[in-house]
A and B are shown apart, each in its own frame.
Chain A
Amino acid sequence: MSKAIVATTSLAGCFGCHMSILDIDERILDLIQLVEFNKSPIDDIKTFTKQCDIGLIEGGCCNSENVHVLKDFRKHCNILISLGECAIMGGLPAMRNGIPIKECLREAYLTGPSVTANTEHIIPNDPELPMLLDKVYPCQEIVKIDYYLPGCPPTADLIWETLVALLKGTEINLPYEVIKFD
């Protein structure tokens, strides 16, 4: 049996969901038997080299680069999974969503109490930088998402059981404790 190909990324997230992938502990040895990683921070492959079976997305979209990466994942992955609260509902980064973006930038770079070094009073404006979106978008509000794994982070058991079920085409039946939003 050929191995399934998996890609992962962290958009506007904290990498906590990726840590949770590693939390499957020794099962990672089984995982390596089942899958091959393509674009992912886990193996540090930066660009897609082939079409993947599964893409795991951590984090929502807070800037233009996140949008490009997410769309790239949609293009290269047959199944796309939102991993964790930020991908599903914006998470903590989305707590800025109630505040107009101009106000956010002013507070962060010009007027906030911790702003001391920005003597030239500029909001970063290098054309190389990704552009901030007006709000943080949950992934499903940009591309089609096939499955959602909630949690902050999703538990290792949830990630493991889901991957195994998807790869083997088996039913998934998780105990109550496994699915949590925090």
Chain B
Amino acid sequence: MSAKINFIIDGQQCQSEEGKFLVDAAKDNGVYIPTLCNYEGLKPKGSCRICTVKINGRFTTACTSPVHDGMNIENNTAELNEMRKQIIELLFVSGNHFCPACEKSGDCELQALAYRYKMMAPRFPFAFPQKEIDASHPKIIKEQNRCILCKRCIRGIKDEDGKSYFAYQYRGKDSLVVVDRKLAAEMTMEKAQEAMDICPVGSIIVREKGWEIPIGERKYDNAPIGSDIENK
């Protein structure tokens, strides 16, 4: 057990163990720092940038930053929240996110963040990119229109030898998360469900699954994402 250290978020005194990632340390103190590419139990990647905070005046991702004694952190500020909202809007316009037709609607973290940050319509023009739906695997469908390239599946869904079922392809605006054909052919039902659950949006769908929970009872139907942390 590491020593307890003190730090401050938006003026609030907090305590944590030295070296814990800031997102988790904040959570222990009832402070919600929004995340999207972060997932409990996975090595943080810092690719969505939504958890960006200011540590001692410098922008840093809270999911990748270990907390140290005496840190002074800005989190819930107009500047940061505006950039977070812009990132959410970017992810909406750069894909094809048709919420009414999506199996994950109501349980989707991107959508939930848009609710939390009160996105009524993105300020950016929609790109309407041409994307494929990869339905060539026996257990899962990879819906590229909805992928936000967070790499959770790449980091989290591996076989017994540590090989990744998912991988990043190309670069920049052409980036794509693809499925390894050989591994996916032998994917178990449990693994498929794990992949669907790890995906924050509706980009990995287990075949013939969806809309199991009625509207009004889904994860983010009644309370904003993060409110469980704040109301603890």
Which residues of A line the B interface, CB within 8 A?
Answer: 82, 85, 88-92, 94-95, 97-99, 135, 138, 140-141, 145, 147-150, 152, 176-177, 179-182
8 nearest A-B residue pairs (beta carbon): A181-B99, A152-B100, A97-B128, A148-B120, A148-B121, A98-B130, A182-B105, A182-B100
Chain A residues in 8 Å Cβ range of B129: 98
Q: In the complex, are the beta carbons of B121 and A181 less than 8 A apart?
A: no
Chain B residues in 8 Å Cβ range of A149: 120
Chain A residue with Cβ nearest B92: A89
Chain B residues in 8 Å Cβ range of A181: 99-100, 105, 111, 114
Q: What is the distance, in angstroms, from B171's C-beta to the closest C-beta of chain A?
A: 21
Which residues of B line the A interface, CB within 8 A?
Answer: 92, 96-102, 105-106, 111, 114-115, 118, 120-122, 125-126, 128-131, 145, 215, 221-224
Secondary structure call for the B interface:
loop
Q: Known: A97-B96, A150-B120, A181-B99. Contact between A90 and B126, CB under 8 A? A: yes
Q: Known: A179-B115, A179-B118, A181-B111. Contact between A98 and B128, CB under 8 A? A: yes
Q: What is the distance, in angstroms, from A143's C-beta to the closest C-beta of chain B?
A: 14
Chain B residue with Cβ nearest A174: B118
Question: Once the chains are docked, how many angstroms separate the CA of A152 from the CA of B105?
Answer: 12
Q: Known: A91-B98, A98-B96, A148-B120. Contact between A141 and B125, CB under 8 A? A: yes
Q: In the complex, are the beta carbons of B223 and A176 less than 8 A apart?
A: yes
Question: Once the chains are docked, how many angstroms separate the CA of A99 from the CA of B145?
Answer: 13
The 15 sampled A-B contact pairs (Cβ below 8 Å) are A85-B98, A85-B99, A88-B120, A90-B126, A91-B98, A94-B98, A95-B96, A98-B130, A135-B128, A149-B120, A150-B120, A176-B224, A177-B221, A181-B99, A182-B99
Chain B residue with Cβ nearest A152: B100
Chain A residues in 8 Å Cβ range of B115: 176, 179-180
